[in-house]
Amino acid sequence: MCNDIRGRENLVSFFKRFNTYIKPYAGVLVLAVFTMLCVDIIAYMIPLCIGYITDHIFPFMHTPGMIQKLLIICGVLMLAGIIRGIVSHVMIRSYWHVGEVVVRDLRNGLYEKLQHLDLAFYDQARTGDLMSRVTTDILLIRDFFAFGIEHRLRIILITLTIFVLMLMQEWRLALAVYGLIPFLYLVVVSFSKKMRKAVTKKQKQMGIMTARVQENITGIRIVKAFAMENKEIETFHSENKKMLEREIKMSLLQVDLNSILLLTNGAGSLIILLFGGYLVITSQLTLGVLFAFIAYLGLMGFPINMLAFNTSLINLALGAGDRIWEILQCADQQQINRNTLQIPLRGKIAFRQVSFGYQEHVPVLKDLNFTIQPGEKVALFGLTGAGKSTLISLIPRFYLPGTGRIEIDDRDISDWELGFLRSRIGIVQQETFLFSSSIKENIAFGKPGTSLEEIQRVARLAHIDEFINGLPLGYDTLVGEYGIGLSGGQKQRVAIARTLLQDPALLILDDCTSSLDTITERKIQAQLQELMKGRTTIIIAQRISTLDLAERIIVLDRGTIQDIDTHPGLMKRNKLYRKTYEHQLAHLHNNGY
């Protein structure tokens, strides 16, 4: 990711980081905490009543009116029980509500962020890993709000209240029982640290696994073509085994902590029986108070049983918070794009001493200088890896140049409002991506809500209209992953129609015919010419026949401009160009064209 911020999160920083997501629901969270207090206060009445009944009713069982007294106390307890049920309902709903809405907002926030992050971010990130953050990690945050906080607060609250109640009734016994707490604290802190490490590893592994599944499914055709299914299965099994090991490690930590906590609880009971029993026998304590202490210890069951699970849950959420924050804190285009220039684009492009590299110290483009006039058609020619695609990706500001200056209509490229600039640049790529929706929606991707007539008009210009009309559902036919498959030429025509609809001032054709056969390419050239009419155009092509569409040709060699001239000029002067031309010509003759 953009900055590494591994594992520095604690509860305080967690709340600080996600403050904007939590704040709107602070009211509900307060209600949740308040109802939680009510639920627990009612619970403490039970040991108090047991103590009272033992000391003040049972010893006077022959005095009249005692049955009534007992009935009244039980009646009050029953009423309290009903109220507790209702309040507890409100409490649980409030916590869950907070969990669900915070996660909804967080998911939206993440998705928005992912839309705005630039391509440099995606160059480093693995799709599957991102998916696992948006899905699995987010759910852990929900659990944190839905019951993680509740449990943690109740654990602290119950433990403290019982301590105070015990202190008020018999301080010596209270201190004896609570003497174990500092020890417990140390144990929990040490387990937390271990869990945190285990969680980070586990979540990371989850990301790796999701990425594997995603990449395998995307590349399933290649896997099958190379008969690599078994190898893929093997690799997955081994990753999954690692996942299991990490899960087990995490569960073991939780189980170990749980056992230590239960032992401590047992020790507590022993202390009460032994020391409390001694105090009763030596008449320093009433039987009622002893019973109340035993009942308190019963109430301590919740914190003791929950602490291990809760510690693990909170550490999972903190780990997930780290992974989500890693994405959220990346600088995005919205933050970088503060400029607002939005004036009609004529389409002049100038590169002035532009250098660029994806990684520092690895230049891909070196000191480029050229100017393209409005409406001019220029081709980029160069061997694979020369940097052609990189060069054109600087124009819509997919990447920022390392040094030098790019100007569009004599204005620095960063003066333009980014969304506006991109909407005025049309790019037809080598591979056309079709979304899983109707062919109509695919053509109108950049302009939702376009009328069918308009879509049909551009489809006719792109010569795909006839084909679409022959489809079972016409323009409503589903394409993309779930729909019918289109051939390379058909996809390219959809892309051309899409770009015609966008009506850009500046057109970039990145090797968009290289995946087509020569005949289809020739057929498509007419549509390309239609598309290029009146627009500044940069054409990248391997085939000289496509370069014919251009007025001037820039020869790019390993990131530097070797030559800029017309076709005849280059034929005369440029060796690389002439050799490629002659080679291709010979190839065409051999194939009978």
Ligand X SMILES: Nc1ncnc2c1ncn2[C@@H]1O[C@H](COP(=O)(O)OP(=O)(O)O)[C@@H](O)[C@H]1O
Stretch that binds ligand X, among 168-176, 255-263, 325-333, 385-393 (CB under 6 A): 385-393
**542 near Mg ion (CB under 5 A):** no
C-beta closer to Mg ion: residue 129 or 510: 510
**385 near ligand X (CB under 6 A):** yes
C-beta closer to ligand X: residue 388 or 491: 388
Binder of ligand X out of 130, 386, 495, 538 (CB under 6 A): 386
Binders of ligand X among residues 339 to 358 (CB under 6 A) are 358
**431 near ligand X (CB under 6 A):** no
Question: Nearest distance from residue 511's CB to Mg ion, in Å?
Answer: 5
Binders of ligand X among residues 17 to 76 (CB under 6 A) are none
Q: At 137, is the secondary structure helix, strand, or coil?
A: helix
C-beta closer to ligand X: residue 384 or 591: 384
Stretch that binds ligand X, among 37-45, 80-88, 320-328, 382-390 (CB under 6 A): 382-390
The closest of 556, 573, 563 to 366, measured between CA atoms, is 556
Beta bridge partners of 416: 341
Answer for the pair 492, 516: CB distance below 8 angstroms, yes or no: yes
Question: Nearest distance from residue 392's CB to Mg ion, in Å?
Answer: 9
Strands 536-540 and 377-381: parallel
The closest of 388, 343, 368 to 505, measured between CA atoms, is 343
**123 near ligand X (CB under 6 A):** yes
Pair of tokens at residue 19: 């403050």
Binders of Mg ion among residues 442 to 481 (CB under 5 A) are none
C-beta closer to ligand X: residue 176 or 379: 379
**Positive or negative: CA dihedral 422, 426, 431, 437:** positive
C-beta closer to ligand X: residue 385 or 534: 385
Binder of ligand X out of 388, 422, 440, 493 (CB under 6 A): 388
C-beta closer to ligand X: residue 276 or 559: 559
Question: Nearest distance from residue 384's CB to ligand X, in Å?
Answer: 4
Question: Nearest distance from residue 205's CB to ligand X, in Å?
Answer: 26
Residue 387 binds: one of ligand X, Mg ion, none (C-beta under 5 to 8 A by kind):
ligand X
**389 near Mg ion (CB under 5 A):** yes
Pair of tokens at residue 350: 């100038």
Residues 6+ apart with CB under 8 A from 575: none
- Element (DSSP H or E) covering residue 564: strand 560-565
Dihedral Cα 529, 531, 537, 542, nearest 10 deg:
-60
Beta bridge partners of 508: 427, 538
The DSSP line for 263-308 is HHHHHHHHHIIIIIHHHHHTTSS-HHHHHHHHHHHHHTHHHHHHHH
C-beta closer to ligand X: residue 334 or 389: 389
Beta bridge partners of 478: 438
Residues 6+ apart with CB under 8 A from 100: 142, 146
Number of residues interacting with ligand X: please give it, by CB under 6 A: 11
203 vs 152: CA distance, rounded Å: 22
* 444-449, Cβ contacts within 8 angstroms, sequence gap of 24 or more: 444/498, 444/501, 445/498, 446/498, 446/501, 446/502, 447/501, 447/502
**389 near ligand X (CB under 6 A):** yes
CA distances to 85, 86, 414 from 79, rounded to whole Å, are 10, 11, 70
Binder of ligand X out of 384, 451, 590, 591 (CB under 6 A): 384
Q: At 416, is the secondary structure helix, strand, or coil?
A: strand
Amino acid at 176: A
Question: Nearest distance from residue 387's CB to ligand X, in Å?
Answer: 4
Pair of tokens at residue 317: 């959420």
Question: Nearest distance from residue 511's CB to ligand X, in Å?
Answer: 7
580 vs 88: CA distance, rounded Å: 79
Question: Nearest distance from residue 554's CB to ligand X, in Å?
Answer: 12
Stretch that binds ligand X, among 44-52, 151-159, 387-395, 405-413 (CB under 6 A): 387-395
Question: Nearest distance from residue 539's CB to ligand X, in Å?
Answer: 13
Query: How long is the chain?
Result: 593
Residue 124 binds: one of ligand X, Mg ion, none (C-beta under 5 to 8 A by kind):
none
C-beta closer to Mg ion: residue 426 or 483: 426
Question: Nearest distance from residue 120's CB to ligand X, in Å?
Answer: 8
C-beta closer to ligand X: residue 207 or 387: 387
Pair of tokens at residue 264: 């401590």
Binder of ligand X out of 303, 347, 363, 382 (CB under 6 A): 382
Site string for ligand X, 355-374 (x = CB under 6 A): ---x-----x----------
Binder of ligand X out of 387, 401, 483, 489 (CB under 6 A): 387
Residue 148 binds: one of Mg ion, ligand X, none (C-beta under 5 to 8 A by kind):
none
- Tell the burial category of 482 from Cβ atoms under 10 Å away from its Cβ (0-12, 13-18, 19+): exposed
C-beta closer to ligand X: residue 210 or 390: 390
C-beta closer to ligand X: residue 75 or 385: 385
Number of residues interacting with Mg ion: please give it, by CB under 5 A: 1
84 vs 37: CA distance, rounded Å: 10
Question: Nearest distance from residue 365's CB to ligand X, in Å?
Answer: 8
Question: Nearest distance from residue 230's CB to Mg ion, in Å?
Answer: 34
Work out the widest C-alpha separation in the chain, in whole angstroms. 125
Answer for the pair 426, 502: CB distance below 8 angstroms, yes or no: yes
Binder of ligand X out of 390, 490, 492, 502 (CB under 6 A): 390
Q: At 522, is the secondary structure helix, strand, or coil?
A: helix
Residues 6+ apart with CB under 8 A from 564: 370, 552, 553, 554, 555
C-beta closer to ligand X: residue 389 or 560: 389
Question: Which residues lie near Mg ion (CB under 5 A)?
Answer: 389
Question: Which residues lie near ligand X (CB under 6 A)?
Answer: 123, 358, 364, 382, 384-390
